[in-house]
Amino acid sequence: MQIQLPFSSFTLRNGLQLIVHEDHSVPIAAVNLWYRVGSKDERPGRTGFAHLFEHLMFEGSANVPQGQFDELLEVVGGINNGSTSTDRTNYWETVPSAACELALFLEADRMGSLPDAMTQAKLDAQRDVVKNERRQSYENRPYGLAFETMHAALYPSTHPYHWPIIGWMPDLDAATLSDVNAFFRRYYVPNNASLCVAGDVDAQQIHELAEKYFGPIPPAAPPAPVSAPLPALSASRASSLEDDVHLPRVYIAWHSPAMFETGDAELDVLGAAMSQGKNARLYRSLVYQNEWAQDVQAFQSSALLGSTFNVVVTARPGIELDRLVEAVWSELRAAARDLERIEVQRAVNRFETSLVDSLQTVGGFGGRADRLNHYAFYLNDPDGVQRDLDRYRRIEPDAVMQAAHTTLLDASAITLTVLPRARTSPLLVSA
């Protein structure tokens, strides 16, 4: 299958990259802006900052009073959001195409003038919101602290992936107004960003509007790219956590090849062969046949400086986690020995459908605009969709088995068990 995602690209004099994709089938426009800054750019003691900053970006700029960013967009029927990962921060607006200029103005105004309108009160209010986000999404959620515990164990304390994107609670408290402004001036500059506009728009007109709104914003010294040596675990390690949960769960993780490197797609396929569908190896054995586990997932989690391959198994009551861990290793060894072509085919077919699916939307997370920026960021070329599909299509079972050997079987792993808290059973009424 050939997938077309035509675009034109320009670079403004201040270094801002502009990508435009035209599709006039629905009268909406997607504005999508990636800044090349994520939690990897933070330093110990100020973790969570890139994400906290993402919140502050919605609190007004020189020509957009506080509260007006969302107001102006809702009035035209638009929606907007942003997200922060270890590697980058993105912002998007999806609007009726007639309001595309408004979205560009809003993005440009905050890129050009956020510090002019920043105040201690705004910082304090959003700090509270983010602390509540941390409570809601991690602390008060079953198994919610498992991944940050795993990351802290997988990466040494100096590695940019050591800390969680949401940040540690004391670090959120420590962020100051001068941190905010310094962070902005360093990373939120046109030459550290990529703007993609997709949908019912005219490329030439978007180019002109981008010049008009973003053109006057001065560039700055480009931030030095973060580099980190590929971490290697000298030995396998295990640790344990207690949580308010009924069922014990075990997490196993390995370091694996970075996004788009050789082995990345192969391990994605391995994950599907292990846990996608009832007949996937781990699912069939642990959940379907033996009923030792309530659920199982195996997946490659891809990122810029290095990825992880993860297996997560939730035990049925009375089943020892050791037995599950042993079964995981034994199924991985078997897969590395005799993975069949049909197992690869199923995974690749599913990837193909999900890729085509994501192209149905122009905006939002994972839509066409976001995808063009994704390839621009990770491949240094927006024209990546066909290449992405082809790297899956080319996968032979041998390559998956090879990746399983090199990355998993011949390497060390981190194992974390999450056990029901000993003191009280949760959600029971005290007299």
Partner 1 sequence: MRLANGLDLLVVTKSGLPVIDVQLVVRGGAVLDAPAKSGRASLTAELVDEGTDRYSALEISDQVELLGADLELRAGWDACFASCHGLSGRLAEMLDLLGEIVLRPRFPEDEFRRKHQERLHQLAQERDEPRLVAVKTLNRVVFGDDHPFGKPLSGTAATVASLDRSSLLEYYASGFVPSNAHLVIVGDITPDRALNLAEKTFGQWLRAAVPERDWSGVVTRPRATKLVDKPGAAQSEVRVGHVGPSRGTPDYYALQVLNTILGGSFKSRLNMTLRERKGFTYGANSTLALRRNGGLFSAGAAVFTDHTAETIAITVHEIDRIREEPVTTEEIERARQYLALGFMRHFETTSEIAAHLAELALYDLPDSYLQEYPVQIAEVSRAAVSAVAQRHLRPEQLAIVVVGDRARVHEPIEAIGLGPIDVWEAE
**Is residue 221 at the binding interface for partner 1, with CB under 8 A as the rule?**
no
Using CB under 8 A, count the residues that bind partner 1.
70
Stretch near partner 1 under the rule CB under 8 A, chosen from 74-82, 155-163, 179-187, 302-310: 74-82
Q: How far is the CB of 183 from partner 1 (least distance, A)?
A: 21
- The Cα–Cα gap between 165 and 36 comes to 15
**CA distances from residue 275 to 82, 92, 327, 348 in whole angstroms, order as listed:** 30, 33, 13, 14
What contacts 431, CB < 8 A, 6 or more positions away?
none
Tell me which long-range contacts 348-353 makes (C-beta under 8 A, separation of at least 24): 348/269, 348/392, 348/393, 348/395, 350/272, 350/276, 351/268, 351/269, 351/272, 351/389, 351/392, 352/1, 352/389, 352/392, 352/393
Please tell me whether residue 25 adopts helix, strand or coil conformation. coil
Largest CA distance in the chain: 71
Catalytic site residue 54? Answer: yes
**Is residue 133 at the binding interface for partner 1, with CB under 8 A as the rule?**
yes
Compare residues 13 and 278 and give the one whose CB is closer to partner 1.
278
Nearest to 381 by CA among 9, 84, 2, 4: 9
CB atoms within 10 A of CB 327: 18
Site track for partner 1 across 334-373, x = CB under 8 A? --------x--xxxxxxxxx--xx-xxxx-----------
**Is residue 24 at the binding interface for partner 1, with CB under 8 A as the rule?**
no
**Is residue 427 at the binding interface for partner 1, with CB under 8 A as the rule?**
yes
Stretch near partner 1 under the rule CB under 8 A, chosen from 21-29, 100-108, 222-230, 397-405: 21-29
- The Cα–Cα gap between 312 and 276 comes to 13
Chain positions 242 to 301 lying near partner 1, rule: CB under 8 A, are: 244-247, 276-279, 284, 288, 291, 294
Among 22, 125, 174, 411, binds partner 1 (CB under 8 A): 125
Q: How far is the CB of 353 from partner 1 (least distance, A)?
A: 4
Q: How far is the CB of 367 from partner 1 (least distance, A)?
A: 8
Chain positions 233 to 252 lying near partner 1, rule: CB under 8 A, are: 244-247
**Is residue 1 at the binding interface for partner 1, with CB under 8 A as the rule?**
yes
Q: How far is the CB of 215 from partner 1 (least distance, A)?
A: 29
**Is residue 419 at the binding interface for partner 1, with CB under 8 A as the rule?**
no
Q: How far is the CB of 187 from partner 1 (least distance, A)?
A: 24
**Is residue 396 at the binding interface for partner 1, with CB under 8 A as the rule?**
no
**Is residue 182 at the binding interface for partner 1, with CB under 8 A as the rule?**
no
**Is residue 51 at the binding interface for partner 1, with CB under 8 A as the rule?**
no
Among 116, 139, 242, 381, binds partner 1 (CB under 8 A): 139
Q: How far is the CB of 138 from partner 1 (least distance, A)?
A: 9
Kindly name the residue from 54, 107, 266, 343 that is annotated as catalytic. 54
**Is residue 119 at the binding interface for partner 1, with CB under 8 A as the rule?**
no
DSSP characters for 176-244? -HHHHHHHHHHHSSGGGEEEEEEES--HHHHHHHHHHHHTTSPP-PPPPPP--PPP--SS-EEEEEEES
Q: How far is the CB of 175 from partner 1 (least distance, A)?
A: 14
Round to the nearest angstrom and report the end-to-end CA distance of the chain. 64
Given the rule CB under 8 A, which residues bind partner 1? 1, 25-28, 67, 70-71, 74-79, 94, 96, 124-133, 135-137, 139-142, 244-247, 276-279, 284, 288, 291, 294, 314, 316-317, 342, 345-353, 356-357, 359-362, 424, 426-430
Residues that are catalytic: 54
